[in-house]
Structure 1
Amino acid sequence: MAKLKMQNKWSIKLGVAITYWIVSLHLISAHNVKSPTALSIKEGSGDNSKGEETQLRNDDPEDLEVFRPTDKWQTLKPGHAVPAGSHVRLNLQTGHREVKMGEEEGLKHWSDGNGQGPSFTAEELKEALKKIKEGMDDPVDAKQEEDAVKAQFRPIEELKKDMEALDMLVETDVQVMRKLLNQFNNTNSTTDEKLTALLDLEYLVHQVDNAQNLVSMGGMQLVINALNGTDVRLQESAAFVLGSAVSSNPSVQVEAAEGGALQKLLTLLATQRPMAVKKKVLFAVASLLRHFPFAQSHFLKLGGVQMLSELFQTPGAETLRVRIITVLYDMIIEKELISQVGMDLIPDSSHQERLRQYAEVSLLPVLVEQGWCRLVPELLASPEHDWREKTLRTLLAMMAQCHTQYKQNPSLTASLSELQKQYQELVLTEQDVGEQDGYFGEILALVDSMVVKMQRM
C-alpha cells in the first residue's frame, strides 16, 4: 500500500514538470513572433534591393509570414503571424499552438489576397501624411469653397426687400376682394380694369364664404347695379359674377332677390343684347331660381316664362334653347320631388314653409298656355344626343299637362318612332363592346317611356 502511494506521488510530480516545460516553450515561441498588427516601412524601393526596415510597433527586424487560417484548427509554426480576429489555443498534449479563423473574418479585410499584410515605403507614407495635412490646414481653399456656395444663394434679407418691393406679401381673400371692389367702383378705373376686377371676383365667389363676404362688403349691390350699365361687356361680366355668387348659396340668393337682381336680369333677356350677354344672364337666372321657390314665384309674376318663350324662338338663339328647357325642367322636378314626402320623413317647420312656397309656383299651366307643349318637341330634331336626352326628360315632366297636344302632334310621333329605331341600333353597338347599361340605352328607355305613355292616354 505504501509502495502504491509512493508511485502516485512520482506520477503527479512528473506531470507537473512536463506541464511547466510545455508552458515555457510556448512563452519562448510567443516572444519571437512578430505582432500581427505591426506595420513595417521599407526604406527605398527596387527589384534587386531588399532595403532597410523600420519597425513602428515591433523591434524585430524579421518579416513574418502571415498564416492564413481556415475554419479548422491548424498547428501554427514558428515564424508565422496570426491575423487579427483569429482564435489561438495551446494544445497541452502536443505543446503546439493552434489557430483557426475568427467569426469576424478579419482576414478578408486585412489580407491583400496574397497572404501578406500591407506595407508602405517611407516616401508613400510621408506623401499621404502631407496630403492629409494640406487638406486639413488649407483655409484658402475652404474660404473659396464657402464663397462659391454663398454666391449660389441670395441673402434672406435681400429676398424680403424684393418681395416687399413687388408687393408679394400674402393677402386674404377678403383683402383681395376689397381691393377688387375698390378698383371696380373707382370712377378713374378704365373699362378694362373694371372687367379684370369682375373676372377676379367671379373666381373668388365660387366659395360660399367669399360670396357671403361679397354681400357684407356691399359688393353684391354694386354687381347688380352694373346690370343697368351701358357697356354690354360689363353687363356680361356682372351677370357672370352674380350667377356664380348665388349658385348653391341660399343666403346670397335671398340678398340678390331682395336687391332686385331678378327683374334686372329679365330686362336684359327681353331687350336687344348680344347672345354672349344673354347666355351669362340666363346662367344667372337659372342659378337664382334653383331651389328658391320665392324667386320662382316672382319669376312667374314678372312674365319670365313669356320672356324665355320669345328668346327660344329668336333667330340665332339656337344654342340657348337647351339651356332654356333645362331651367323649366329643373323647376318642374323640384316641386314634384319636395311634394313626394316619404313616410319615414318627419317634416319640420322649414319643410312645411317650403311646401307652402312651392304651392304658389304654378308653372305647368303657364307652360301649356304659352305653347311650350309644341315648342319643346322641336329640339328632338337636334343631332346632339345630350339635347335629345334633356328634351325627352322635359317632355316626360310635362306629360300630365301636355298629353293631348302630344298625341295631336304628328311630327312628335314620327320623331319618336325614328329615334326608337336609331337608338335600338346604337344600343346593340354598345352591347357589342360590352356596355350593357350604356348612355344610348338610357336615351332609348326615355323614348320607349314616351311612346308607351302616349299610347295609354
Structure 2
Amino acid sequence: MFSHAGGGSLTWCFLVLLLPLLGSALSHKSEGALTVVEDADGGGGGGVGGDEEEDAVEVFQPNEQWQTLKPGQAVPAGSHVRLNLQTGEREVRLGEEQLKYWTQEHREGEKSTAAIDPDELKRAMKKIKEDLRSQDSKPSGFRPLEELKKDMAELDLLVETDVQIMRRLLDQFNSSDTTTEQRLAILQELEYLVHQVDNAQTLCSMGGLSLILGGLNSSDVRLQENAAFVLGSAVASNPVVQVQAVEGGALQTLLTTLATTQPLHVKKKVLFALACLLRHFPYAQHHFLSHGGLQILSELFRADAGGILRTRIVTMLYDMISEKELIFQAGLDAVQDPSHKERQRQYAEVSLQDQLMEKGWCRLVPQLLQSTEHDYREKALRALLAMASVCLDQYRSDSSLLGSLHSLRLQYSELIQSEMILGEESGYFAEMVELIDSLQVKVK
C-alpha cells in the first residue's frame, strides 16, 4: 500500500527551495496513521508545530531508497510512504518530484540539516507570508490598459505617413517664407522618399514634378544640383514617372541645363537624371535624338578634360545600344510577354547607332582610351565594341585608335605577368586584354 504525503498551503516551488527547512510536517495522531499538519497562521487550523505535541515532532529525512519509518516520525511533504505487508512497518522514500532535485549537493546538505527546529520553521514560514503580503500591497509596475490605449492614440496622431510628409514638404517648398537652405533640405528629404516607386508616383500626382523642374531652372546652382538628383531618383526604374517627366518637359529642361555653362557637380547630377530618364524608355530616347541630344553631349564630351563626364556619357550611350540589341535577341516568348512586339516597334524608331556615326562619335569615344584610369578605358572599349557595326571603317582608318590598342595590349599583358609572379589573381586585367583582342579582331 502506497500513499503520497500531501503539501501545505505553499506551492511546490517554495517547498523545493526550502526543502531542508520547510515542508508541512506529518505527525502520528495515532500509532497507525499519518496526518498532514496544516499552516498554523492560516486561520482555519494548525500549522507547522500547531501545538506543543506537534512542535516536538521528529522529521525523518528520506532519500531515494525505501527506509523504515519509526513510530512518531513525520516526513517532508511530497514523500512516498508505503506499508510493508510482510513486516507491517511503514517505509518512506523521496517522491518523484523530489528525486529530480536529489543531487550530491542535497545529500551533503542534509547531513547538517537533519534536525529541524520547529520554532525556526514557524519564523521562516511567517517571514515568507509577510513578504508575500507586502508584495501584494505594493503598487503594480504595470499601467492600466485604458491608459496605455490613450497614450498610444496620442502617439499615433504624431506619426506621419510618407504621403503626409511629401504634402507638407511641398507646401513648405512653395511657401514664400522658406529660405534657400530650407529648400535644399526639403529636396534632400524628397530624394530619399522617391526611391520607393509608389512615393515617386504620388509625388508627381501632387504636382511635385513641376516643383523639381522649377528647381532645375533656378539661378542657384545648389538647387539645380539637388533638383536633378531628386528627378533622377524618381524616374529610375519607374516607367509611370518616366512618362510623366517626358510629358512635363523634363527632357528639354535637362538638355538645356547641359547646354549652358554650369559647374561640374551640377552637370554630373544632370547627366545622372538624363541617363535614368532614357534607360529602358525608347520613347524618351527617340525624343532625345530628335532634340539634338547627341550634339549637346558631343560638345560636353569635347569640353571635359578630366574625363569624368566623358565616362558617364560613354556609359550612357553603351547602355542605350545594349538594351536595344537585347530587345531584338531571340528567346523571349511573345505569349508570355505580350508587350514585347510593341517594345521592338518603339526601339526600331530609335536610330541611335546611325546618328552616333553621323555626329562623329566613332572618333570621339577612342579618345577616352588616353585616360590613365582603368575603369575609363574599360567603358571606352565596351562602347567601341558595341559601336563596331557602324564605326568599323572609321576604326580601321584611325591610326591613333590602332596605336592605343597596341600599347594597351602590351601594358595589360605586363600587368598580368606581374600579378602572376606575385601570386595574385589577374581576372580584371585578363578581361581587359580580352576586350582589346576582340576589338583588334574586328578591326583586322
Aligned positions of 1:50-65 closer than 5 A: none
Residue of 131, 146, 152 corresponding to 2:127? 131
Residue of 305, 318, 335 corresponding to 1:329? 318
Do the aligned partners of residues 422 and 68 (structure 1) sit closer, same or farther apart at CA in structure 2, a change above 3 Å counting? same
What's the offset of the Cα at 1:365? 2.5
Residue of 406, 422, 425 corresponding to 2:395? 406
AA paired with 2:317?
A: L
Q: Is the 8 A contact 2:69 2:92 kept in 1?
A: no
1:388-415 deviations in whole A, cap 9, x for unaligned?
Answer: 2211110101112222222223332233
Q: Which deviates more, 218-227 or 335-344?
A: 335-344
AA paired with 1:135?
A: D
TM-score, normalised on structure 2?
0.74
Residue of 112, 115, 118 corresponding to 1:118? 115
Q: Is the 8 A contact 2:413 2:433 kept in 1?
A: yes
1:135-172 deviations in whole A, cap 9, x for unaligned?
Answer: 3555xx876x538x589xxx7599679859xxx71112
Partner of 2:80: 85
AA paired with 1:219?
A: G
Partner of 1:376: 365
Q: Is the 8 A contact 1:112 1:118 kept in 2?
A: no
Partner of 1:298: 287
AA paired with 1:85?
A: H
- Separation of aligned partners in 1, 2:340 and 2:332: 14
Residue of 287, 301, 304 corresponding to 1:312? 301
- Separation of aligned partners in 2, 1:61 and 1:324: 100
AA paired with 2:310?
A: R
Q: Are residues 1:185 and 2:174 paired?
A: yes
* Residue aligned with 1:230, SS: coil
Q: Is the 8 A contact 1:240 1:281 kept in 2?
A: yes
- Separation of aligned partners in 2, 1:248 and 1:60: 87
Aligned positions of 1:196-211 closer than 5 A: 196-211=185-200
* Residue aligned with 2:187, SS: helix
Do the aligned partners of residues 212 and 430 (structure 1) sit closer, same or farther apart at CA in structure 2, a change above 3 Å counting? farther
Q: Which deviates more, 345-354 or 393-402?
A: 345-354
What's the offset of the Cα at 1:417? 2.7
AA paired with 1:247?
A: A
What's the offset of the Cα at 1:369? 2.6
TM-score, normalised on structure 1?
0.72
Do the aligned partners of residues 57 and 350 (structure 1) sit closer, same or farther apart at CA in structure 2, a change above 3 Å counting? same
Partner of 2:261: 272
- Separation of aligned partners in 2, 1:247 and 1:137: 67
Partner of 1:172: 161
Structure label with greater radius of gyration: 1
* Residue aligned with 1:313, SS: helix
Q: Which deviates more, 280-289 or 444-453?
A: 444-453
Q: Is the 8 A contact 1:69 1:86 kept in 2?
A: no
- Separation of aligned partners in 1, 2:219 and 2:273: 19
AA paired with 1:402?
A: C
- Separation of aligned partners in 2, 1:346 and 1:177: 40
Q: In angstroms, what is the RMSD of aligned CA positions? A: 4.2
- Separation of aligned partners in 2, 1:354 and 1:70: 85
Q: Is the 8 A contact 2:368 2:377 kept in 1?
A: yes
Q: Is the 8 A contact 1:36 1:81 kept in 2?
A: no
Aligned positions of 1:383-422 closer than 5 A: 383-422=372-411
Partner of 1:216: 205
Give 5+ residue unaligned stretches, structure 1.
1-29, 40-53
Q: Which structure has more RCO (C-alpha within 8 Å, separation ≥ 6)?
A: 2
Q: Is the 8 A contact 1:377 1:391 kept in 2?
A: yes
Q: Are residues 1:146 and 2:139 paired?
A: yes
Partner of 1:49: none
